[in-house]
Structure 1
Amino acid sequence: MTEISRLAEACARLGEGSSDYDLNPALRPAERALRPAAVLVGICEGRVILTKRASHLKHHPGQIAFPGGKLEAGETPEDAALREAQEEIGLEPSHVTPLLRLPAHETVTGFSMTPILARVAPSDFRCDPSEVDEAFTVPLAHLLNPQNYTVQRRQWRGTMRAYYAVPWGPYYIWGATARILRQMAGAK
């Protein structure tokens, strides 16, 4: 079975979305308005495209993330994911074939983030330094192995918080990005 076939099967079983509160249900606010956002889960030649956010950013500096961001008025999640990938890493929309809209992921920063799984033709990345320090790829096989994921803990806003992590080389992939990838790997 190919990695893409395995991924498609896992995605077909996803069901409900995930949340940064999955491991921390007691920390979930009773009510809050979530802002819509989308990210591109781009698969290119058996590898997943990720970014290292610019270190000078106010929110999530230096963290590993999918290309993506807030939806603008009238945009679909697919539109936003393609626009943001082009803005952040220079990925031409004509090189991207959206395959499937994954269930939304609720972030602790107040977003309902819709991952868009897409096949991406080989492309050169041109990072916008105002948003991204680096674009890189990680083997899909590494990310589809649930054994590569661990639960880590750190203090956040005065409370210990648990989160998933899936390191790769010098990259520490954690939080919402790791949670979405872990769910795609077929782990609950």
Structure 2
Amino acid sequence: MPDLRQRLEDALARPGSPSSDFDLNTDVKIPQRDLTPAAVLMGIQAELETVILTKRSARLKHHPGQIAFPGGKQDPTDKSLVAAALREAREEIGLPSGIVDVIGNLPPHQTVTGYRVTPVIALVTGGYDPIPEAGEVSEVFEVPLAHLLNTDNFFIEGRRWQGRRRHYYTVPFGPYYIWGATARILRAFAERMA
């Protein structure tokens, strides 16, 4: 069995297509608009083989209480989308960039809110104590990679949104309801790793 780094490199070398929040809603016409560049860090604890996720603060205006990767829009001072993902992980959860080994990225994901999100895949090679940025993050937790790579753990659910039923992926874990863009990115990752 190849080591985790090799498995990730092999998966990211395979061809893949961009994903979007519209993938399960073929009746919705994807709006043509300029998308804001953003990046998220899918940090995988190398020793534990767990994925680091956050629960967003309930006080946030957008997506309060939702499960997400650390990340956000690319600032003018970020030299690249990878730099944006690393900066956001430092700011949101206190993850030192020095223990992050970037492997590559998945194709971008388009959100209904107008972002083109690049998922940056990385191994976290050392221990650290998460420091949630109180204004943005209420909790930092980890999910076993094996749980997220098992496509049987993903479900399609739906709710009414803008007058119509919108479908989306979920991948629940314990008390955490992982859905929307985060679950869609995880599903694309699981398909790549299969």
TM-score (norm 1): 0.94
CA RMSD, 1 decimal: 1.6
1:71 matched residue in structure 2: 74
Matched residue of 1:117: which SS? strand
- Aligned partners of 2:140 and 2:111: how far apart in 1? 22
Q: Judging changes above 3 Å, is the alpha-carbon distance between structure 1 residues 100 and 135 closer, same or farther for their aligned structure 2 residues?
A: same
Q: Judging changes above 3 Å, is the alpha-carbon distance between structure 1 residues 106 and 123 closer, same or farther for their aligned structure 2 residues?
A: same
1:67-102, Cα deviation, whole Å (9 max, x unpaired) = 000001152111000000011011111111111021
2:49 matched residue in structure 1: 46
Q: Report the residue type matching 2:36 in the other structure.
A: R
1:148 matched residue in structure 2: 153
CA deviation after TM superposition for structure 1 residue 27, in Å: 2.0
The aligned runs of 1:95-110 (5 Å cut-off) are 95-110=99-114
2:62 matched residue in structure 1: 59
Q: Is the 8 A contact 1:167 1:173 kept in 2?
A: yes
- Aligned partners of 2:179 and 2:39: how far apart in 1? 18
- Aligned partners of 1:176 and 1:123: how far apart in 2? 26
Matched residue of 2:103: which SS? strand
- Aligned partners of 2:53 and 2:29: how far apart in 1? 27
Q: Give the one of 166, 172, 176 matched to 1:167.
A: 172
CA deviation after TM superposition for structure 1 residue 115, in Å: 0.5
Q: Judging changes above 3 Å, is the alpha-carbon distance between structure 1 residues 149 and 180 closer, same or farther for their aligned structure 2 residues?
A: same
1:183 matched residue in structure 2: 188
Q: Is the 8 A contact 2:8 2:103 kept in 1?
A: no
Range with bigger deviation, 9-18 or 130-139? 9-18
Matched residue of 1:127: which SS? coil
Over the matched positions of the two proteins, sequence identity in percent amounts to 54
Q: Is the 8 A contact 1:18 1:105 kept in 2?
A: yes
Q: Is the 8 A contact 1:7 1:144 kept in 2?
A: no
1:92 matched residue in structure 2: 96
CA deviation after TM superposition for structure 1 residue 14, in Å: 4.4
Gap runs ≥5 in structure 1: none
Gap runs ≥5 in structure 2: none
Range with bigger deviation, 134-143 or 14-23? 14-23
- Aligned partners of 1:152 and 1:13: how far apart in 2? 28
Q: Is the 8 A contact 2:9 2:103 kept in 1?
A: no
Q: Is the 8 A contact 2:53 2:67 kept in 1?
A: yes
Q: Is the 8 A contact 1:52 1:65 kept in 2?
A: yes
- Aligned partners of 2:31 and 2:89: how far apart in 1? 33
